[in-house]
Amino acid sequence: MHELSIANSVVELCAERAMGARVLRVTLEIGRLSAVMPDAIRFCFDVCAKDTVVEGAALEIVETPGLARCLDCGGSVDMIDLLEHCACGSVNLELLAGSELKIKQMEVV
Amino acid sequence: MCTTCGCSKGAGTVITDPETGERIETPAEGRNGGAREPGSWRQLATGPEGASVAAHLHARGHRHAHEAHVHEHDGHGHMHEHDGHVHSHEHVHEHHHAQTPAAFDHSPVSIAEVAIAAATHSTTIALEQDVLAKNQLLAEHNRGWLASRHITALNLVSSPGAGKTTLLERTIRDLQDLHSAQTIQVIEGDQATLNDAERIRATGCRVVQINTGTGCHLDAGMVSRALAQLDPPAQSWLMIENVGNLVCPALFDLGEQAKVVILSVTEGEDKPLKYPHMFRASRLMLLNKIDLLPHLRFDVERCIAYARQVNPSIEVLQVSAETGAGMKAWYAWLEAAALEEVGETVR
């Protein structure tokens, strides 16, 4: 349950970059393989935002799917979780996408 | 607050040096994140021809006006970008342009009016900011500091009770006998108590304890402060015993050379599948308490296969910190990691 400290970092980063403006909306990108639960972030976000310029901001979460390249056959593998394997049977996979944990943008006023 | 593990930003971290009894308390993080109050103006950027881009920052329920409008307005709205700040303006004609800040009209307005103002005047700022970047930066700072002293730092992670502290006690005692030149220094991480630090200190090893309060993992900032307190000598091993937790510590780089995950055979052999992030992030898995295998239904081969399913390159050593079985291979691994540390720095 690291989502609380992550939600806290999100609020801090947004408050810092807002330079005093009120934040209306925050858009986060969370990869499916990032080990971060969007629901837990939502749960913590409002608590962390309280008494900051981020208080009351809408939180939008864009979940990005996991994608890997098989290092044995070169095929691409859709990663639902880290336990996926390639159609060729290999688990020797290089993650290409899905571990993102980023603040994409925010809307301030 | 967090109902799963009790994580909270309400409590600060305490670093204790059991040798001197010195306690360094880090207060809980600020609520406002250094942000200023709404209602102020700030020049965000200066564009070509000295045109300033003004951000309108106004408190809820107040009218606002612009001091100096440098944007070309055609009354139909436009978008422009300055240094990554995208402004979208859809100027309504009732909008008042005052001449000086003193002319601001602060009469209360209705919520509906504010909503309209917000809808028409919001500014979208593209950030593309990695949420863990701050921790990553501190971790790289730690890594550079450790490399400059040829210190081999390992982040020991496991669930509570897998035997991290017992493993460390034995490792310290055995290496003291084998290897008086290179010392081990320890950073202990636990939510509370100095118990583990006292156990390590009893071996004669230098140790500092980080108590995370309600936090469920160590982060690079805590380790940076502990390093300042510990001041480990050049060419030593630094063992960072993380908070017992197979989830969160996988995400927080501390600046270590490698993570070592300890799994005891009294746990389920499918732990690597249940906690894939941790096993994927680790370079070595120490399978501990193998002296108990005759009494358990634990399939060692299956456990190793599971670990390699999530991390094909993970190295595996089977040990018993209690009896000493397999520990020589672990010490050889430590020696190799130390050589690598020196090699990396020389290169």
User: Which of A16, A19, A32, A47 is most worth mutating to test chain B (most B CB atoms within 10 A of its CB)?
Assistant: A19
**Alpha-carbon torsion B319, B322, B323, B328, what sign?**
positive
| A10 interface with B at CB cutoff 8 Å | yes
> Are B85 and B145 in a shared domain?
no
Q: Has residue B44 been placed in a domain?
A: no
Q: Look up residue B84 and give its two tokens.
A: 């990554």
For residue B120, what pLDDT is reported? 61
Angstroms from A75 CA to nearest CA on chain B: 17
Closest chain B CA to residue A11: B33
Residues B244 and B301 in one domain: yes
Size of interface A-B (CB pairs under 8 A): 161
User: How many angstroms separate the CA atoms of B293 and B300, rounded?
Assistant: 9
Q: Which CATH number describes the domain made up of A3-65+98-108?
A: 3.30.2320.50
- Mean of pLDDT over chain B: 78
Report residue A50 as tokens: 């309280």
The pLDDT, as a whole number, for residue B182 is 73
Residue B255 maps to a domain? yes
Residue ending a domain, among B75, B91, B125, is B125
B230 with B259, same domain? yes
Asked if B138 and B169 sit in the same domain, the reply is yes
Quote the number of domains for chain B: 2
Asked if B173 reaches chain A (Cβ–Cβ under 8 Å), the answer is: no
B1 pLDDT more than 50? no
Please provide residue B82's backbone torsions phi and psi, each rounded to the nearest 5 degrees: -130, 120
Same domain, B154 and B199: yes
Interface-testing mutation among B29, B58, B129, with chain A (most A C-beta atoms within 10 A): B129
In a domain, B7, yes or no: no
Q: According to the model, what pLDDT value does residue A76 have?
A: 96
Q: What distance in Å separates residue B63's CA from the closest CA in chain A?
A: 13
* Mean pLDDT (whole number) for A7-29: 94
Predicted confidence at residue B86, as pLDDT, reads 47
Domain membership flag for residue B206:
yes
The set of residues, in sequence order, having a beta carbon less than 8 Å from that of B89 and lying 6+ positions away, is B71, B73, B77, B78, B79, B120, B121
β-pairing, B85-89 with B78-82? antiparallel
pLDDT over 50 at A79, yes or no: yes
Average pLDDT over residues A60-68: 96
Percent share of chain B, pLDDT over 70:
68
Please tell me whether residues B189 and B301 are part of one structural domain: yes
Residues with Cβ within 8 Å of B173's Cβ and at least 6 positions away in sequence, in order, are B203
Query: Given B125, B160, B181, which residue is the final one in a domain?
Result: B125
Note the pLDDT of residue B111: 55
Other CB atoms within 10 A of residue A46 CB: 15
B236, part of any domain = yes
User: For B8-17, B35-44, B231-240, B300-309, which range has the lowest pLDDT when averaged over its residues?
Assistant: B35-44
Q: What is the pLDDT of residue B19?
A: 85
Q: What was the ipTM of the complex prediction?
A: 0.86
CA distance B236 to chain A (A): 31
B174 and B320 within one domain: yes
Q: Which domain holds residue B311?
A: 133-346
* Residue B343 scores a pLDDT above 50: yes
Average pLDDT over residues B170-189: 87
pTM for the predicted model, two decimal places: 0.75
Q: Say if B60 is an interface residue toward chain A (CB within 8 Å).
A: yes
Residue B40 lies in a domain: no
Same domain, B182 and B235: yes
Output B199 or B88, whichever has higher pLDDT. B199
B263-295 per-position pLDDT tens digit: 999 999 999 999 999 999 999 999 999 999 999
Last residue of a domain, which of B105, B125, B145?
B125
Judge if B144 and B279 occupy the same domain. Answer: yes
Q: Residues B153, B169: one domain?
A: yes
**Residue B48 forms part of a structural domain:** no
Q: Are residues B115 and B137 in the same domain?
A: no
Domain ranges of chain A: 3-65+98-108
Residues B110 and B198 reside in one and the same domain: no
Q: Within a domain: residue B275?
A: yes
Minimal C-alpha gap between B279 and chain A (Å): 10
